[in-house]
Amino acid sequence: MIVQTLAFYLFAGIMVASALMVIAARNPVHSVLFLILAFVNASGLFVLLGAEFLAMMLVVVYVGAVAVLFLFVVMMLDINFSELRRGVLQYLPIGAIVGLILLVELVLVVGTWVSSTGMVRPLAPTPDPGQVSNTAALGRLLFTNYVYFFQGAGLILLVAMIGAIVLTLRTREGVRRQTISDQVGRRRRDTLEIRKVPSGTGV
């Protein structure tokens, strides 16, 4: 029990510190690296909770795909971040108000949950850990009680992907592009010509 408590405080402390460094680091590449560190420590917390599947998915999906994609995008785009940060101070009061509102809401949620622990009823009965595996319990919960939210999240991600493709698709002059309709609609006489060449004369 002492080892689990020490591991929890170690993972949680490193995760909070790396999360703070994500927004405090001046170099965007360093911010992405601290974000990867936060994801790895969050997966360690999931392992301590007994959710090995979520820990694996956090490492594979977020660290292996999303964070690395962020890193590639930041490194490939030549963005002058010093110019973007010049107008940060004028938005600081609005950001402070929004942050204060979110803090008050979080305190109210946590206070309500602590004060009415016996009144809260789960949406679905908790499966017995000895009978159902972690992956099966998670899949059963996602595809029964939260199936509409799950499908809605998938549609939102699909729309975001299509929007990103449309925004980054550029039409450049002088670049030969593939036109499917022209390829399908072309005829043989437009592309092929048979000539009878006499012997010894050439084309």
Residue 120: pLDDT above 60? no
Write the class of the CATH domain 1-78: mainly alpha
pLDDT at position 176: 75
Mean pLDDT computed over every residue of the chain: 78
CA 12 to chain centre: 21
Mean pLDDT along residues 45-60:
83
Confidence band of 28 (pLDDT split at 50, 70, 90):
confident
Question: For 53-73, how does the pLDDT look when each residue is reduced to its tens digit (9 = 90+)?
Answer: 888 888 888 877 777 777 777
Q: CB neighbours (10 Å) of residue 39?
A: 20
pLDDT in tens, 11-22: 899 999 999 998
Residue 159 has pLDDT above 80, yes or no: yes
Contact 8, 45 (CB under 8 A): yes
158 — phi, psi (to 5°)? -65, -45
Say which residue, 137 or 16, is predicted with more confidence. 16
Rounded Cα distance, 55 and 62, in Å: 10
